[in-house]
């Protein structure tokens, strides 16, 4: 009997929240962010999340974006690499990333499945002296 990997497949973003220890919730890419995470049977994953309704660059050329256009376009995150599953944890081994500091690092997430919903939660971490946790909810496509 083989146990099937419940992560395998494509998942659409439902919500991406940052929750502080005192109960505040904020949305790094906006409350209507969009994105996908994909887990393959070969042990690789990829994720992309962006703010909805980002504006096109006036020039139509990504190399000619104004500083304001480039800053607005950065409401986006993406990375890819290998992953491993250990009990209720999934560990992303980041090989490439939009944010260069993530490449070569791991992202550990607690996974909770509820039918076709996957909730990934980070361990608590500190940002500007505030403890917070990422909670990202996905729905199987």
Give 110 or 127, the one with higher predicted confidence. Answer: 110
pLDDT at 2 over 70: no
Distance CA 43, CA 15 (A): 25
Rounded Cα distance between 97 and 92, Å, is 12
Of 17, 46, 45, 44, give the one whose Cα is nearest residue 30: 17
What are the pLDDT digits (tens) for 14-46?
999 999 999 999 999 999 999 999 999 999 999
Which pTM was predicted?
0.92
Could you give the residue ranges of the DSSP H alpha helices within 35-131? Answer: 67-73
Q: Output 36 or 4, whichever has higher pLDDT.
A: 36
Give residue-wise pLDDT tens across range 49-97: 999 989 999 999 989 999 999 998 989 999 999 999 999 999 999 999 9
Say how far apart CA 55 and CA 97 lie, in whole Å: 22
Architecture, CATH, for domain 9-140? Beta Barrel (2.40)
Which of 91, 138, 102, 122 lies closest to 20 in space, CA to CA?
122
């Amino acid at each position: 009997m083989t146990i099937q990997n419940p992560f395998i497949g494509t998942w659409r973003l439902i919500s991406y929240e940052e929750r502080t220890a005192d109960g505040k919730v904020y949305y790094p890419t906006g409350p209507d962010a969009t994105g996908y995470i994909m887990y393959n049977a070969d042990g690789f994953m990829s994720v992309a999340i962006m703010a909805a309704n980002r504006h096109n660059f006036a020039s139509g050329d990504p190399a000619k974006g104004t500083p304001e256009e480039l800053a607005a376009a950065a409401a986006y995150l993406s990375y890819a690499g290998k992953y491993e599953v250990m009990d209720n944890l999934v560990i992303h081994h980041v090989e490439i990333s939009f944010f260069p500091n993530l490449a070569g690092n791991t992202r550990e997430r607690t996974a909770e499945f509820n039918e076709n919903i996957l909730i990934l939660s980070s361990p608590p971490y500190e940002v500007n002296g505030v403890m917070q946790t990422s909670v990202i909810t996905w729905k199987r496509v």
